[in-house]
Amino acid sequence: MRDHANVHQLVCLANLESMNAHFIRQGLSQPERIVQLNDLAIQQMRVLIKSSVHLLPE
C-alpha cells in the first residue's frame, strides 16, 4: 500500500497507526477501533486535501 500512496495518504496512515496503538492501550475492541479509525481517516483526508487545494496557484 505504501508503495502506491501519495503524501496525504502516507501522513494519514502514519496518524492512524499511532491512533490505533493509543486505542489499544485504552482497551477499545477491534470493532470499536475500526469505527473510530475510519472516522479519523475520512476527517484527516478531507483536511489534507482541502489544505492542498488552497496551496495551488490560481
| Digit-coded pLDDT (tens) for 15-33 | 999 999 999 999 999 999 9
More confident call, 37 vs 53: 37
Phi, psi (deg, nearest 5) at residue 36: -65, -45
Per-residue pLDDT averaged across 50-58, rounded? 68
- Residue 22 · residue 39 · CB < 8 Å: no
pLDDT score at 55: 61
- pLDDT at residue 6 is higher than 80: yes
- Residue 25 · residue 33 · CB < 8 Å: no
- pLDDT at residue 38 is higher than 80: yes
pLDDT score at 34: 98
Q: Domain-by-domain residue ranges, the chain?
A: 2-52
Print burial letters for 2-41: b (CB count within 10 Å at least 16), e (below 16). eeeeeeebeebeeebeebbeebeeeebeeeebeebbeebb
